[in-house]
Amino acid sequence: MSEKFYITTPIYYPSDKLHIGHTYCTVATDTMARYKRMQGCEVMFLTGTDEHGQKIEDKAREAGVTPQQFVDNIVEGPKGVKDLWKLMNVSYDRFIRTTDDYHVAAIQKIFRQMYDKGDIYKGTYKGKYCTPCESFWTESQLVDGKCPDCGRPVVDAEEEAYFFKLSKYSDRIRDLLENTDFLQPRSRVNEMIHNFIDPGLEDLCVSRTSFQWGIPVDFDPGHVVYVWIDALSNYITALGFQNGRYDDYAKFWPADVHFVGKEIVRFHSIIWPAMLMSLDQPLPKHVYGHGWLLLDGGKMSKSKGNVVDPYLLAQRYSADALRFFLLRSFPFGSDGNFSNELLIQTINTDLANDLGNLVSRTTAMAEKYFAGTLPAGQRADEALDGELTALASGLRDKYEEAMERYQFQDALSAVFQVIGRANKYIDENAPWALAKDMDANGPRLARVLYNLLETIRISAVLLTPFIPDTCAKIFDQVGACEGCRTWDSAKVWGSLSAAVTVKKGENLFPRIDMEKELAELEEAEAAAKKAALPAVEIEPAVEEPVDFDTFCKSDFRAVKVKACEAVKKSEKLLKFTLDDGTGTDRQILSGIHKFYEPEDLVGKTLVAIVNLPPRKMMGQVSSGMLLSAVHKEHGEEKLNLIMVDDAIPAGAKLC
Ligand code: ME8
C-alpha cells in the first residue's frame, strides 16, 4: 500500500479578495503535495475558507447583503478564492467551507463532546477583544495596550461565555513543544514558550453572544462557537470526523503537516493540540510556521491597503513564473520583501537566462547539427563530462533532503546549481567548434548534447512540483518519454534513449525589459486597483434623526444663474450671481470648478439654501449654498448640481 500524506493550508477568511501573501502559503502547500504525489504517496491536500465571525457579519452589513451571500461571492464568485487557486494551478483534493452543513453539525458535536468531558464550562468573560483579528487577549498579552498580532486598538468586552480549560493541558503542550519536533522551524518554539506557556496558559473564551454569524451552541442558543474552535476543527471535519459526509478520517489523520503563517502559530501549536487532547484524538505530526511577505518592510494585508494582486501578476507572467518566484526568493521560515523588481529579476535570471536558454540552446543545436535526432554512436569523455553527470545524478538526493525539511529555496538552489553547471558545460565544450568537423567530432558532439538533454530532463522532473506547466513543455521539447518524467527516473542517469528526438518549441520565458515593464506594471496596478473599487459608492445614511421643526427652518429656493465665473487665485471656487426672486442679486461661492465650466451654468435653475449666515471665502461673501448630489465612481468623487425645471420661477420655495 502506498504511503499517505495529509497536508493543509490555513483556511482563508473571505472578508476581502485574497492577495499574494495568501497565495504564498497555498503555492507552497501545492508544491509539497505535488512532490509527495510524484514520490508515489497517496496525498490529501486540503484547503478552504473560514467563513464565520463578526468581521464577516460587519462587512456583509456594510455591503447590504447577507453574510452568506457575502462569503459566497468571495469564495465562488468571479476572481474569488476558487478562481484564484485555479489560475495558480493549485491541485487541492478537498475544499472545505466552514458554512458547509456537515461542518456546522460536526462543530456542534465537537463542542458538546468537550463540554461533556468537563473541559468546557460557563463563566463570565472580561477582557480585551481585537475585532479585526477576532482574538481575545488578556491585559498582560497586549503590547502597548494594543493587539499583539496586528497592533490595532482592542476593546473591553464582558459577557456570559463558555470557557475551554486550556490551562489543564499546559504541561502536555510544553512537553510537546520542547521535546518533540511538532512545531517548526525551531525558532517558533521559543516564541511560544516565552510568550504564552511561561506566563501561564489561561482558559480560553470559546463562545460569543454579541453577534450571530457563527455556529450556534446547540444546547445554549444565543451563544455562537468562537471562530477559532470552528476554524481549527476543519482539519478533521473535512475528513469526516463527527459527520457522514466523508469517511477518510481513519485513513489520513493525523495530518503530516499544517502549513500556517507565523501569526497563527499560537492557535495551531497551543489551542489546536489542546483541543485534540480534550477530544482524545492523535495530534498532527508537524506544524510549520512560515514567514510573511512584506511590502516596504510591513506585512502585506488588506486592512493596510498595501496588497499585491496575484491575478494581475499571474496573468502577466504566468502562474508558473509567480509560483517559482515565491518559493525561489524567500526562505520559507523567514519573512521576505516583495518587490516588482525582484520578481522580474528572478524571472529574467533563473527562468529566462538559465533554464530557458539552456533548453532552447540545447534543442536548437540538436536540430541544427542532427536534424533533431541524436545518433546512437556517441563518444563520452570522462574528464569533460564527469562533473556534470555526477552533479545531475546526485541532484535528487540533495533536493529530497531539502524538500523533506520544507526548504523549497534550498531545493531550487540545488537544481539551479546543476542548470548553471550545464550552461558552463556548453561553453567548455563549444559544440559550434565541434560541428565544424562532423566526421571527426560528430560522436562527441552527440554525447555533449545528450548530456545536456539528460541534465535538463532530471532538472525538469524535480522542478515539476514548482512549475508544472513549464516542465510539461520541457519534457516535450527534449523528447522525454513517460517513464523519463518520473521520480524514479530522476535518480537514473541515462534514462533518455541515446537516439532521442527533440522538438524545439517557443521560448519558455521571454526576457523582460526591466525598466519598461516596471513602468507598465505600475500603470496596470493602478488601473486594477481603481477597477477593484466599487463602481458606485454612496455615503451611508445619517442614522441620527432630525426633528421636523428643525428641518423646516431650512429655506430652500429655486435660483437662476445670471452670471458665473471662476474666482481668481482659486482652483476650486466658482462665483455665482443668482436671481433668487427678491429683486436683489444673491452671490454664492461654491467649490465645484473641478466638475463644471462656469459658462455652462449660466441660465440654469438650481436649488440653494438661502438662510445660512453669510461667510467669506477668498475675500468674497457667500450668502447660502447650492445643493448638489455627490457619490464616488471607482474611488473618484463625482458631483452633480441639483437642476430643476426652468419653468419654476426664481424664488419658488421648495418644501
Ligand atoms: O488566518 N505573507 O486567515 P487569513 C504571508 N482564517 N502569509 C500571509 C500574508 C502575508 N503577507 N498575509 C496572510 C486566517 N498570510 C484564519 C486561518 S486556519 C484554521 C484559520 C497568511 O485569511 C496568514 O499567515 O487571515 C495565514 O496563514 C493565511 O494567509 C490565511 O490568513
Q: Ligand 1 centroid vs 516 CA: distance in angstroms?
A: 33
Contacts of 313 (CB under 8 A, 6+ apart): 20, 322, 343
Lookup: cell for 439: 566526421
> Is the CB of residue 470 less than 8 Å from the CB of residue 463?
yes
Write the CA distances from 565 to 67, 165, 614, integer angstroms.
50, 73, 19
Q: What pLDDT is recorded for position 635?
A: 75
Query: Is residue 553 classed as helix, strand or coil in its secondary structure?
Result: coil
The closest-lying atom of ligand 1 relative to the alpha carbon of residue 263 is 24
> Is the CB of residue 19 less than 8 Å from the CB of residue 45?
no
Q: What pLDDT is recorded for position 304?
A: 61
Pocket flag, ligand 1, residue 330 (CB < 6 Å): no
Residue located nearest, by CA, to atom 29 of ligand 1 = 22
Pocket flag, ligand 1, residue 72 (CB < 6 Å): no
Q: Ligand 1 centroid vs 25 CA: distance in angstroms?
A: 8
Q: Ligand 1 centroid vs 61 CA: distance in angstroms?
A: 23
Pocket flag, ligand 1, residue 263 (CB < 6 Å): yes
The closest-lying atom of ligand 1 relative to the alpha carbon of residue 259 is 27
Q: What pLDDT is recorded for position 478?
A: 98
Q: What pLDDT is recorded for position 456?
A: 98
pLDDT averages per 10-residue partition of the chain, 655 residues: 91 91 96 98 98 92 93 95 97 98 98 98 88 77 86 87 96 98 96 95 91 95 95 98 98 98 97 98 98 84 72 94 98 94 97 98 98 96 97 98 98 98 98 97 98 98 98 98 97 96 95 95 84 74 83 95 94 96 96 95 97 92 96 85 96 93
Q: What pLDDT is recorded for position 302?
A: 64
> Is the CB of residue 239 less than 8 Å from the CB of residue 246?
yes
Q: Cell 477593484, residue? A: 532
Strands 155-164 and 204-205: antiparallel
DSSP bridge pairs for 625: 609
Identify which of 18, 20, 22 to mutate to test ligand 1's pocket (most ligand atoms within 8 A of the CB): 22
Query: Is residue 459 classed as helix, strand or coil in its secondary structure?
Result: helix
Largest pairwise CA distance in the chain: 110
Pocket flag, ligand 1, residue 260 (CB < 6 Å): yes
Pocket flag, ligand 1, residue 21 (CB < 6 Å): yes
Q: Name the strand (E) or helix (H) holding 421.
A: helix 408-429
Q: Ligand 1 centroid vs 22 CA: distance in angstroms?
A: 6
Q: Ligand 1 centroid vs 307 CA: distance in angstroms?
A: 13
Q: Ligand 1 centroid vs 526 CA: distance in angstroms?
A: 25
Distance between CA atoms of 644 and 648, rounded to whole angstroms? 7
Lookup: cell for 110: 465537537
Pocket flag, ligand 1, residue 192 (CB < 6 Å): no
Pocket flag, ligand 1, residue 24 (CB < 6 Å): yes
Pocket flag, ligand 1, residue 11 (CB < 6 Å): yes
Q: What pLDDT is recorded for position 544?
A: 81
Pocket flag, ligand 1, residue 25 (CB < 6 Å): yes
Identify the CA nearest to 154 among candidates 166, 142, 164, 165: 142
Distance between CA atoms of 24 and 293, rounded to whole angstroms? 8
Q: What pLDDT is recorded for position 306?
A: 67
> Is the CB of residue 287 less than 8 Å from the CB of residue 405?
no
Contacts of 391 (CB under 8 A, 6+ apart): 417, 418, 421
Lookup: cell for 391: 552533479
The closest-lying atom of ligand 1 relative to the alpha carbon of residue 232 is 19
Identify which of 264, 301, 327 to mutate to test ligand 1's pocket (most ligand atoms within 8 A of the CB): 264
Lookup: cell for 178: 520542547
Q: Ligand 1 centroid vs 134 CA: distance in angstroms?
A: 13
Q: Ligand 1 centroid vs 10 CA: distance in angstroms?
A: 7
> Is the CB of residue 612 less than 8 Å from the CB of residue 651?
no
Pocket flag, ligand 1, residue 264 (CB < 6 Å): yes
Q: Ligand 1 centroid vs 430 CA: distance in angstroms?
A: 50
At 423, the amino acid letter reads N
Residue located nearest, by CA, to atom 31 of ligand 1 = 12
DSSP string for residues in 252-313: HPSPSEEEEEGGGHHIIIIIHHHHHHHTT-PPPS-EEEE--EEETTEE--GGGT----HHHH
Strands 4-8 and 257-261: parallel
Q: Ligand 1 centroid vs 223 CA: distance in angstroms?
A: 26
Pocket flag, ligand 1, residue 454 (CB < 6 Å): no
Pocket flag, ligand 1, residue 10 (CB < 6 Å): yes
Distance between CA atoms of 466 and 313, rounded to whole angstroms? 17
352-369: buried (b, 16+ CB within 10 Å) or exposed (e) per residue? bbbbbbbbbbbbebbeeb
Q: Ligand 1 centroid vs 24 CA: distance in angstroms?
A: 10
Strands 94-97 and 120-130: unpaired
Pocket flag, ligand 1, residue 299 (CB < 6 Å): yes
Q: Where do runs of H (alpha helix) occur along 430-496?
A: 431-434, 438-463, 468-478
Distance between CA atoms of 297 and 69, rounded to whole angstroms? 35
Pocket flag, ligand 1, residue 292 (CB < 6 Å): yes
Q: Ligand 1 centroid vs 331 CA: distance in angstroms?
A: 17
Q: Name the strand (E) or helix (H) holding 315.
A: helix 310-317
Write the CA distances from 353 to 261, 338, 340, 347, 419, integer angstroms.
32, 21, 18, 8, 10
Q: What pLDDT is recorded for position 636?
A: 80
Report the predicted TM-score, pTM, of the whole model to 2 decimal places: 0.84
Pocket flag, ligand 1, residue 231 (CB < 6 Å): yes
Distance between CA atoms of 384 and 299, rounded to whole angstroms? 49
Distance between CA atoms of 109 and 106, rounded to whole angstroms? 5
- Interaxial angle between packed helices 310-317 and 514-532, expressed in degrees from 0 to 180 and rounded to the nearest 10: 140
Pocket flag, ligand 1, residue 12 (CB < 6 Å): yes
> Is the CB of residue 433 less than 8 Å from the CB of residue 365?
no
Pocket flag, ligand 1, residue 447 (CB < 6 Å): no
Pocket flag, ligand 1, residue 258 (CB < 6 Å): no
Pocket flag, ligand 1, residue 261 (CB < 6 Å): yes
Identify which of 25, 309, 326 to mutate to test ligand 1's pocket (most ligand atoms within 8 A of the CB): 25
Distance between CA atoms of 353 and 552, rounded to whole angstroms? 75
Find how far residue 83's CA is from the centre of its chain.
12
> Is the CB of residue 64 less than 8 Å from the CB of residue 175?
no
Q: Is the peptide bond before 185 cis (omega within 30 degrees of 0)?
A: yes
The Cβ of residue 158 has, within 10 Å, a number of other Cβ atoms equal to 10
Pocket flag, ligand 1, residue 232 (CB < 6 Å): yes
Q: What pLDDT is recorded for position 187?
A: 94
The closest-lying atom of ligand 1 relative to the alpha carbon of residue 294 is 11
Distance between CA atoms of 441 and 445, rounded to whole angstroms? 6
Residue located nearest, by CA, to atom 3 of ligand 1 = 12
Distance between CA atoms of 584 and 587, rounded to whole angstroms? 10
The closest-lying atom of ligand 1 relative to the alpha carbon of residue 299 is 11
Pocket flag, ligand 1, residue 22 (CB < 6 Å): yes
Pocket flag, ligand 1, residue 43 (CB < 6 Å): no
Q: Ligand 1 centroid vs 47 CA: distance in angstroms?
A: 12
